[in-house]
Amino acid sequence: MEVTGKHILLTGGSAGIGREMALQLRDAGAKVTITGRNPDRREIMQGEKIETISADLSNAAGVDALLSEWGERPIDVLINNAGQLVDYDLRAAAPDSDEVDNCIYANLNAPIRLVSALVPRLRDRSSAAIVNVTSGLAIAPATRTPVYCATKAGLRSFTLALRGQLAKTPITVIEALPPVVDTQMNADNDLKKMSAADCARAIVEAIAKDREEANIGMTKVLRAVESASPALARTVMLRF
Catalytic residues: 148
Burial class (CB in 10 A: 0-12, 13-18, 19+), 179: buried
Q: Which amino acid is residue 179, in one-letter code? A: P
Check: CB of residue 141 under 8 Å from CB of residue 98. no
Scanning the chain, the segments in alpha helix (DSSP H) are: 16-27, 39-47, 60-70, 97-104, 110-123, 146-165, 196-208, 219-228, 230-237
Distance of alpha carbon 88 from alpha carbon 146, whole angstroms: 7
Nearest partner of 15 among 132, 186, 193, judged by Cα: 186
φ/ψ of residue 54, rounded to 5:
-75, 125
Rounded distance between C-alpha atoms, residue 6 and residue 150, angstroms: 32
* Interior angle at CA 175, CA 163 and CA 81, nearest 5: 120
Q: Rounded CA gap, 208 and 120, in Å?
A: 22
Closest CA to 210 of 77, 116, 23: 77
Closest CA to 8 of 81, 82, 75: 75
